[in-house]
Amino acid sequence: MTGPASPRAATVPAGTPAAAAVSLRDVHREFRRPRTSLRHDPAVVHAVRGVSLDIAAGERVGIVGESGSGKTTLLRLLCGLDTPTSGEVYVQGRPVHDQPARRLRWLRRELQLVFQDPMGSLDPRMRVGQIVAEPLVAQRIGSRAERRARVTELLERVGLPAEAADRYPHQFSGGQRQRISIARALAPRPHVLVGDEPVSALDVSVRAQVLNLVDEVVDGYGLTLVLVSHDLSVVRHVCDRVAVMRQGELVEVAPTEQLYRDPQHPYTRELLASVPHLADALGSHPPDMERSQPDE
């Protein structure tokens, strides 16, 4: 399928790695609280403080941190949904930070999002086929026949039957709805896939299935993955590298297994120590099942 050529944007400045699919340069985002006094300036919240990060094409990077650490704000800046107070954001070598929304049409094709709550991100009045095809319609990609074929292909790719296209989101389980969200994100053939807590709203029993699907489509389509999560076990399952955020700053960036094996920053060690383990919950030794058997 083909679509209209995107307008050419300014090229990335010297010093930014040409191979970087995503590049953040000293990004800050400040929010002013409502004024409460005529005598004092309103307080300023520093949501993101001087974040610099390069993500290579095909890399999988997890951004972790507790609630309020700034990771969702950083994600909004990366996706062009917010504008940094200062700093630069590039996707596929093209600037995002200084562009008005009308000039970011190309970004909606290069980068796609999978949201936390699948039911909240799917229009309940639209059939699944319309939902998956929506990015194609918005981007004017392909003919009607080509869009229908693409929808069928994607539904099968995420493990749903072709007849699912004629049903509504409420007729599916939470895990199936997230599969629909992934299919929609893949529709315009993006190069960067962004997940905002994509499995936190799902039952534990289906989280692994959806994570395995993310793993498969990222490999199969050669995507760059940026995954935001507060769950370190989720990031460890699918990411090559982890960036740890605290109070709006990146405090540690390291390959996943190295970070788990030898965390350098005290906050990273606190995060890892807070991950619950079944053995800890049961005590240092598993229960003696033989003692629980009735005497014969």
Which pTM does this prediction carry?
Answer: 0.83
| Nearest-angstrom CA–CA distance, 271 and 264 | 12
Q: Counting beta carbons within 10 angstroms of the beta carbon of residue 31, is it exposed (0 to 12), middle (13 to 18) or buried (19 or more)?
A: middle
Residues 6+ apart with CB under 8 A from 104: 80, 96
Residue 286's pLDDT is 47
User: What is the pLDDT at residue 277?
Assistant: 57
Asked if 202 and 210 touch (Cβ cutoff 8 Å), the reply is yes
- What was the pLDDT predicted at 94? 93
Give residue 19's pLDDT. Answer: 66
**Separation in Å, CA 94 to CA 45, 105, 110, 183, 190:** 28, 12, 11, 25, 15
What pLDDT was estimated at residue 43?
83
Name the residue among 229, 221, 268, 296 with its Cα closest to residue 57. Answer: 221
> Rounded to an integer, what distance in angstroms lies between the CA atom of residue 121 and that of residue 88?
28
pLDDT score, position 10: 41
Cα–Cα distance, 274 to 293 (Å, whole number): 34
296 residues of the chain, pLDDT tens digit each:
444 444 333 444 445 555 689 999 999 999 988 877 777 778 888 999 999 999 999 999 999 998 889 999 999 999 999 999 999 999 999 999 988 888 999 999 999 999 988 888 899 999 999 999 999 999 999 999 999 999 999 999 999 999 999 999 999 998 999 999 999 999 999 999 999 988 887 888 788 899 999 999 999 999 999 999 888 888 988 999 999 999 999 999 999 999 999 999 999 999 888 876 544 544 544 444 444 444 44
Tokens of residue 164, six digits? 């699912």
